[in-house]
A and B are shown apart, each in its own frame.
Chain A
Amino acid sequence: MRVALFVTCINDALRPRTGRAVVTLLERLGVAVDFPAEQTCCGQPQFNTGYRHATEPLVRRFDRAFRDYEYVVTPSGSCTAMVRDNYPRIGAKAAAEGRGPELTGIAAAAVPKTYELTEFLVDVLKVTDVGAYYPHTVTYHPTCHGLRMLGLGDRPRRLLEQVEGLELRELPGAEECCGFGGTFAVKNPAVSAAMGADKVRNVTATGAEAVCTVDNSCLLHIGGSLSRQGSPVRPVHIAEILASTEADAQAPVEADTKAPAASGTEGSPR
Chain B
Amino acid sequence: MSVTYLGMPAFPEAAAASTRDPRLRANLTHATHTIRDKRAKAVTELADWGRLRAAGAAVKDRTLRHLDHYLEQLEAAVTDAGGQVHWAADAVEANRIVTRLVRATGETEVVKVKSMATQEIGLNEALAEAGIHAYETDLAELIVQLGDDLPSHILVPAIHRDRAEIRDIFRREMGHWGRPAPEGLSDSPAELAEAARLHLREKFLSAKVGISGANFMVAESGTLVVVESEGNGRMCLTLPETLISVVGIEKVVPTWRDLEVFLQLLPRSSTAERMNPYTSTWTGTTDGDGPRTFHLVLLDNGRTDTLADTVGRQALRCIRCSACLNVCPVYERAGGHAYGSPYPGPIGAILTPQLRGVEGSLEASLPYASSLCGACYEVCPVAIDIPEVLVHLRERVVEGGPVTRGGVRTVLKSAKGHAAERAAMRAAGWVFGHPRALRAGMRLTSRTRRLHPRRLPGPGRAWSDTRDLPAVPAESFRDWWRRTRGTSSGSKQRGDGE
A-side residues, CB < 8 A to B, are 1-2, 7, 9, 11-17, 19-20, 32-41, 43, 45-54, 57-58, 61, 89, 144-145, 147-149, 175-177, 179-197, 220-221, 223-225, 227-228, 256-260, 262-263, 266-269
Contact = CB atoms under 8 A, between A and B. Distances in A.
Q: Interface on chain B toward A: helix, strand, loop, or mixed SS?
A: helix
Interface stretch (B160-168, B180-188, B315-323, B457-465): B457-465
Contact of B398 (A49, A186, A228): A49
B329 A228 contact: no
Contacts of A192: 371, 462
A148 B380 CA distance: 13
A181 B373 contact: yes
B443 interface: yes
B134 to A, nearest CB: 34
A13 B368 contact: no
9 contacts: A13-B442, A19-B477, A40-B433, A50-B393, A57-B432, A188-B330, A188-B368, A224-B463, A228-B466
Given A50-B397, A57-B429, A12 B477 contact: yes
Q: On chain B, which size bracket covers the interface?
A: 35 or more
B12 A189 contact: yes
A195 B369 CA distance: 13
Contacts of B421: 49
Contact of B375 (A47, A53, A144, A184): A144
B369 A256 contact: no
Interface in B388-427: 388, 391, 393-399, 421-422, 425-426
Interface of B: 11-12, 15-16, 19-20, 25, 329-330, 333-334, 367-375, 377-378, 388, 391, 393-399, 421-422, 425-426, 428-429, 431-433, 435, 438, 442-443, 445-447, 449-450, 459-460, 462-463, 465-483, 485, 487-491, 493-498
Contacts of A52: 395, 399
B424 to A, nearest CB: 10
Nearest first, the 7 A-B pairs at minimum CB distance are: A181-B371, A224-B467, A189-B462, A50-B394, A256-B473, A190-B16, A177-B373
A48 B481 CA distance: 30
Given A179-B371, A181-B372, A190-B16, A260 B490 contact: no
Given A13-B442, A16-B476, A268-B446, 9 more contacts: A15-B473, A17-B473, A36-B489, A40-B432, A144-B374, A181-B372, A189-B466, A191-B12, A224-B468
